[in-house]
Chain A
Amino acid sequence: MYDLIILGGGPAGAAAGVYAARKKIKTLLIAENFGGQAVIAAEIKNFIGFKSISGIEMAKRLEEHVRDQESIEIKNGRKATSITKQDNFFIVKTDKDETFETKAVLLTLGSSPKKLKVDGEEKFEGKGVFYCSTCDAPLMKNKIAAVVGGGNSGFYAVLDLLPYASKIYVLEYGDSFRADPVYIDQAKQSGKIEFITMAAIREIFGDNFVKGLKYQDRNSEEIKELKIEGIFVSIGYQANSDLVKNLAEINQNGKVIVDCKTQKTTCEGIWAAGDVSDVLYNQINIAIGDAIKAVLNIYQHLKSQS
């Protein structure tokens, strides 16, 4: 039986690991990998103590720092698939068919790109449906691509695609683009972009790979088709709160509600910190601070139990 299981290896999870070790809490950290979403940032300029650091470098340092704590057990390359509450402990299961018992759980699972939830999206993931333009934009060399989402992250995808794609459609659900004008201008100047507003994506189709998409023009209600070979989904992020949705209270945006002084969720024995929680600002520095707050409170809680 562990005292604490930390789920997630982003900045919050790593910070929690370091603090749990210093408090000698018997801890297991389960993470798919280290760094979380910040990994894909080319440059982070507001991580305090570093004038500039790449996402990868930061991930490496987080991992090093946690692994330096001898008393923390780490299981990476896997993810938790369920948390079950017993009388006064929890059972955590993973996708490697492992089962662990713990007195406390700290959820630091961050968030993931939001999905469109349309037919074909899941089927063609990696086969033309992409969520990481930094990674996969070069695969669109001389191909026609679409970007869904007209905010800044959508336009980052457009800028990633510009050197490669022959044509790019940018589809936005609303009636205007929310991205900073500087990005929109940059995209316009390329001459290979077609902007489409009031577009609701309905279906992604193809054979082995994506061949096109269907969207509904929200003005005319007409269904239209675009022949494309890649679709980059950039419609925001979704908190990875599924594991506790039947245990703790989740807000309307899917984030785990926490007490901001202690990071306690509404389920006794479960804490949450970072982007998975209903924290107001999604910042690495804040996620780290909140995770530390959680561990210090968990330490008090465990002490009061023993």
Chain B
Amino acid sequence: MVKIYSTPTCPYCEMTKEYFKEKGVNYEDYDVSVDDKAREEMIAKSQQMGVPVIDIDGKIIIGFNQPEIDKALGL
């Protein structure tokens, strides 16, 4: 299960989502600018407030860190 916590204006969030699409990865997108529950969840999981936060089967990655994402996805 791949989740991304994002804001609509954040370019790195957009780049991450584009990357998932390119690699054919299904993901759930949570907009933390409007979804209060998701925002709390994101902060609890990552212990910080910067976006994007990516949750790949429980592995938490902060920011568009392509090598870390590849590793977690086994690409």
Q: Interface residues, chain A, CB within 8 Å of chain B?
A: 33, 39-40, 42, 55-56, 59-60, 76-78, 96, 126-128, 130, 132, 134-139, 141, 160, 164, 208-209, 230
Contact = CB atoms under 8 A, between A and B. Distances in A.
Contacts of A139: 7, 32-33, 39, 49-51
Contact of B13 (A77, A78, A135): A135
Interface of B: 7-15, 18, 32-33, 36, 39, 47-51, 62, 64-68
User: Quick one: which of A40, A126, A141 has the most chain B CB within 10 A?
Assistant: A126
Contact of B67 (A56, A78, A127): A78
Contacts, number: 74
A78 B12 CA distance: 16
Contacts of B39: 139, 141
B67 A160 contact: no
A136 B10 contact: yes
A60 B36 CA distance: 31
Nearest to B46: A126
Nearest to A135: B10
Nearest to A143: B49
B7 to A, nearest CB: 4
| 3 shortest interchain CB distances as A-B pairs | A138-B33, A135-B10, A77-B67
Given A39-B15, A164-B33, A138 B48 contact: no
A128 B33 CA distance: 16
A136 B50 contact: yes
Contact of A39 (B12, B33, B48, B51): B12
B62 A126 contact: yes
A135 B14 CA distance: 10
B50 to A, nearest CB: 4
